[in-house]
Amino acid sequence: MITIRRSNERGGGDFGWLNTKHTFSFDTYHDPRFMGFRSLRVINEDWVQGGHGFPMHPHRDMEIITYVLEGALEHKDSMGNGSTIRPGDGQRMSAGTGVRHSEANSSESDPAHLLQIWIQPDRSGHKPGYEQKAFPEAEKRGKLRLIASPDGRDGSVKINQDARLYVSLLKPGEMVKHELAGGRYAWVQLAKGSVEVNGKVLSQGDGAAVSEEQELAVKGTSEAEVLLFDLA
């Protein structure tokens, strides 16, 4: 079964410096039908104007993944980390027992476009942590590249949950397939372009909840960038 969450049905708003779309309930946007999916709690698509960002603020007991689509984001946190997150990077911050961080557009003029992803950890009280790795375009072109997993396999960043995040870049007509083990679920989020997922059409910003499917076939119908979450 595949249930589509259309882009234009998402919450969020335009605040001038920030235009944001919320796939699931977040902050002042609340929809009891969309509180998350399995351990996946937040997918926010953000456009941050140049010279702006999110000031230092706290988190705890959440696995936070930032995936930049365009531009670059400056990260700083209370653990002493400071980095620039660029398109294709996989950045994970485990908030654990508590951490503070800020994120700002590194450009004074150009907007930054990103996905902010929260995954609930397998338990509370993990030690806070940070990890960032680059995943070259060639590793995602026409294939599913694992970028986050519970064991850090294949060079992915490690998260404290039985969840795996794959990314693929597809040309029109190109297809990738993913087997779902028994009792597993998936969420597909389309970051760019358009695809068909088991014959169902997704456009930029759309998401899809997947259950009781043994295999996912994702076919590009335009140049596309797709995120696939394999969830317990």
User: What integer best gives the mean pLDDT of the chain?
Assistant: 96
- Structure-block tokens of residue 29: 């946007």
According to the model, what pLDDT value does residue 11 have? 97
- Quote the CA–CA distance of 208 and 155 in Å, as a whole number: 27
According to the model, what pLDDT value does residue 33 have? 93
Residues 189-199 have a mean pLDDT of 98
Lowest-confidence range among 1-10, 84-93, 164-173, 203-212? 84-93
According to the model, what pLDDT value does residue 32 have? 95
Helix, strand, coil percentages, rounded to 5, for the chain: 5, 55, 40
- The phi, psi pair for 79, rounded to 5°, reads -85, -5
pLDDT in tens, 41-83: 999 999 999 999 999 999 999 999 999 999 999 999 899 999 9
Q: pTM for the full model?
A: 0.96
Count other C-beta atoms under 10 Å from residue 176's C-beta. Answer: 21
Asked if 41 and 164 count as a contact pair (C-beta separation under 8 A), the reply is no
